Amino acid sequence: MRRHFFFTIVFLFTLGCSQIDQDKRTEPFRVVTTTSMIGDAMRAMLDTNVVVTSLMGPGTDPHLFKPTKQSLDDLAAANLIVANGLHLEGRMQDILEKLGLRKPVIFLGESLSEEELILPEQNADYPDPHIWFDVSLWHRALSGATSKLDSLGILRSDKAMQYFSGLSELHEFTKTEIAEIPEERRVLLTAHDAFSYFGRAYTIEVIGLQGISTVSEYGLRDVEQMVDLISSRNIAAVFVESSISPRSMEAVVSGVQQKGGEVKIGGTLYSDAPGPRGSGAETYTDMVKHNVRTIKSALK
């Protein structure tokens, strides 16, 4: 019933959506992105007169995001929609695909090859969508969108080159910082399995209590397995995530303590969304740097 409801909404809104009218020079070009990470990149690369709106703000879990009336209004008014794809947007996937029949929609994940994507063992039909955690992979995904952005006349090549140069520096920064953690301590335990690309790119073992989507739920057995892992390998810290309740990792810490062990909450990581204003993790670059420094400080 809910699925049918969303299809109905899409149908009604797309009926009223027209193609980009190139003659309306006085109207600003409107780009709507699903996540804040994509919005950050679009603002950095596009012409200054382009209006960029992100549907999901700080602290928003994209796996569980439900479009509001304002979200649907923004999508209807957009000249271009840029999404992550790979089913990150979960409940919005059908809406985005329907809108793609009426106006340009870019799915960043579609520009990556199968070899570049990670297929989780528990659900090999759906690639892990958290591609932004490998900065070099995020660079390639965004690069794959530039030809479309250029064809629409909204890409500023000088700004894009500057942004991509910054991403290259960020990738090297991340590699250097994580490599300074002793190899036996390089274990990242988080609330959900969002950091697999990070682990592959920067050589750190990553284990999530939940699956790649927060739609899945953890159980007592999952907590017990993580407690046993921490106890057997003397892992110093676990991490909570800004867009997920800390209760699951608090249960892990409590379980370790009940067994006479000791583990700490190493800090809060920004996984599916950057931080709010004043957090020091407002942009994609700041978000990655915050995560890297938090991980290094807790594990080194």
Overall average pLDDT of the 188-214 stretch: 86
Q: How far is CA 242 from CA 177, 196, 203, 277, in A?
A: 22, 17, 23, 14
pLDDT in tens, 106-125: 999 999 999 999 998 766 67
pTM of the model: 0.86
Would the pLDDT of 133 be above 80? yes
Pick from 136, 296, 141, 139: nearest CA to 201: 136
What's the pLDDT at 113?
A: 96
What's the pLDDT at 298?
A: 97
Q: Are 230 and 258 in contact (CB under 8 A)?
A: no
- Long-range contacts of residues 113-121, Cβ cutoff 8 Å, at least 24 apart: 116/140, 117/86, 118/196, 118/197, 118/200, 120/193, 120/196, 120/211, 120/212
pLDDT in tens, 3-39: 433 433 443 344 344 334 444 457 899 999 999 999 9
Pick from 99, 96, 77, 76: nearest CA to 85: 96
Would the pLDDT of 148 be above 70? yes
Overall average pLDDT of the 269-298 stretch: 95
Q: What band does 291 get if pLDDT is binned at 50, 70 and 90?
A: very high
Each residue of 16-25: b (16+ CB within 10 Å) or e? ebeeeeeeee
Would the pLDDT of 90 be above 90? no
pLDDT in tens, 48-57: 999 999 999 8
Q: Are 239 and 294 in contact (CB under 8 A)?
A: yes
pLDDT in tens, 216-255: 556 788 889 999 999 999 999 999 998 788 898 999 999 9
Mean pLDDT of the chain: 88
Domains of the chain and any CATH numbers: 2-170 (3.40.50.1980), 179-299 (3.40.50.1980)
Could you give the CA distance from residue 141 to residue 137 in angstroms, rounded to a whole number? 6
Would the pLDDT of 2 be above 70? no
What's the pLDDT at 210?
A: 76
